[in-house]
Amino acid sequence: MDNLLIEDYDKTPDLSYDEIGDDHISTGLETPMKANAFEMSDDEKKEKITDLFKGIMDVLGLDLSDDSLKGTPKRVAKMYVEEIFSGLNPENKPKISLFENKYRYNQMLVEKDITFYSNCEHHFVPIIGKAHIAYVSSGKVIGLSKLNRIVQYYAKRPQVQERLTNQIAEDLKLILDTEDIAVIVDAKHLCVSSRGVKDNTSTTITSYYSGIFQDSNKVTEFQNYINK
């Protein structure tokens, strides 16, 4: 199931599009993107989205001549491209500077309660949560704010929480040149709380442990830090 491709959906009779969305199936580590995703400029994308969203509002029966609504398509287009889906464009990836670990600190460093806002790729409604990150330096350290920026970058795209967790962790492994990475993501999905089963109390927790964090004692230490 993990290797199910988009083009295989119609060949899989036991899965409907609704079931795929409600079951939060992910199709891989990489965000599904077209090969020509960046042929249009951001301004061209905003213009196109503006026109398309006007069509959606028109189909819904909304009066686009109303003062409150006539600017909505343009606002939505700007929000999509410049804000909530800006993480789709690799040009927006944060520039990362590493520093020598002059303190020779060789224990885990934990950054907890990193708030993020993302959007479910199945229904395009918000995912609101917190990420907790730990790593052990292999000789280099990263500025603390950059951990937040990496989380925000991967969150600002249509997402599945499992993919978001893995993307954050895999990128940190490359940046920091270490296997000693742990990531926990705890989030509320509005596609669960505001539609479907309408469960407003549940949250979803995903985790990634590699290197020394595959040791249960290190996992317990990390979890103790974030639960304080």
CATH of the domain at 150: 3.30.1130.10
Task: Name the catalytic one among 159, 162, 167, 189.
Answer: 189
In this prediction, residue 19 carries a pLDDT of 56
Distance CA 180, CA 137 (A): 8
Pair 105, 208 in one domain = yes
Pair 128, 217 in one domain = yes
Out of 64, 92, 120, pick the residue that ends a domain. Answer: 92
Distance CA 51, CA 65 (A): 15
Number of domains in the chain: 2
The total number of residues written for the chain in this structure:
228
Task: Name the catalytic one among 121, 132, 159, 162.
Answer: 121
Pair 40, 117 in one domain = no
- Token pair in block for residue 64: 């686009």
In this prediction, residue 10 carries a pLDDT of 45
How does DSSP assign the chain, residue by residue?
Answer: -TT--GGGGGG-TT--HHHHHHTT----SSPP--TTTTSS-HHHHHHHHHHHHHHHHHHTT--TTSTTTTTHHHHHHHHIIIIITGGGSGGGSPP--EEE-TT---S-EEEEEEEEEEEETTT--EEEEEEEEEE--SSEEE-HHHHHHHHHHHHSSEE-HHHHHHHHHHHHHHHHT-S-EEEEEEEEEHHHHSSTT--SS--EEEEEE-GGGGSHHHHHHHHHHHT-
Stretch 21-44: mean pLDDT: 82
Pair 56, 75 in one domain = yes
Choose among 156, 154, 189: nearest CA to 168.
154
Active site (annotated) includes residue 189: yes
In this prediction, residue 45 carries a pLDDT of 98
Pair 46, 126 in one domain = no
Pair 73, 122 in one domain = no
Residue 156: how many other CB atoms lie within 10 Å: 21
Task: Name the catalytic one among 152, 159, 161, 167.
Answer: 161
Pair 86, 102 in one domain = no
Choose among 113, 116, 101, 118: nearest CA to 228.
113
Q: What percent of the chain has pLDDT over 90?
A: 77
Pair 137, 161 in one domain = yes
In a domain, 1, yes or no: no
Q: Is the confidence at residue 220, as pLDDT, over 90?
A: yes
Q: Which has more confidence, 20 or 184?
A: 184
Task: Name the catalytic one among 111, 122, 159, 167.
Answer: 122
Active site (annotated) includes residue 120: yes
Pair 136, 60 in one domain = no
In this prediction, residue 12 carries a pLDDT of 44
Q: Is the confidence at residue 11, as pLDDT, over 90?
A: no
Active site (annotated) includes residue 19: no
Domain that includes residue 187, residue range:
98-226
Pair 197, 127 in one domain = yes
Task: Name the catalytic one among 47, 82, 123, 223.
Answer: 123
Choose among 159, 124, 186: nearest CA to 26.
159
In this prediction, residue 3 carries a pLDDT of 38
In this prediction, residue 5 carries a pLDDT of 42
Pair 216, 110 in one domain = yes
Question: pTM for the complete prediction?
Answer: 0.86
Pair 166, 194 in one domain = yes
pLDDT in tens, 106-137: 999 999 999 999 999 999 999 999 999 999 99
In a domain, 182, yes or no: yes
Active site (annotated) includes residue 123: yes
Active site (annotated) includes residue 24: no
Q: What percent of the chain has pLDDT over 70?
A: 84
- Token pair in block for residue 20: 């795929």
Distance CA 218, CA 215 (A): 5
Distance CA 93, CA 86 (A): 9
pLDDT in tens, 156-176: 999 999 999 999 999 999 999
In this prediction, residue 64 carries a pLDDT of 97
Out of 92, 110, 144, pick the residue that ends a domain. Answer: 92
**Cα-atom radius of gyration of the chain, to the nearest Å?**
20
Task: Name the catalytic one among 120, 132, 159, 167.
Answer: 120
Q: Is the confidence at residue 7, as pLDDT, over 60?
A: no
Out of 92, 120, 135, pick the residue that ends a domain. Answer: 92
In this prediction, residue 102 carries a pLDDT of 86
CATH of the domain at 53: 1.10.286.10
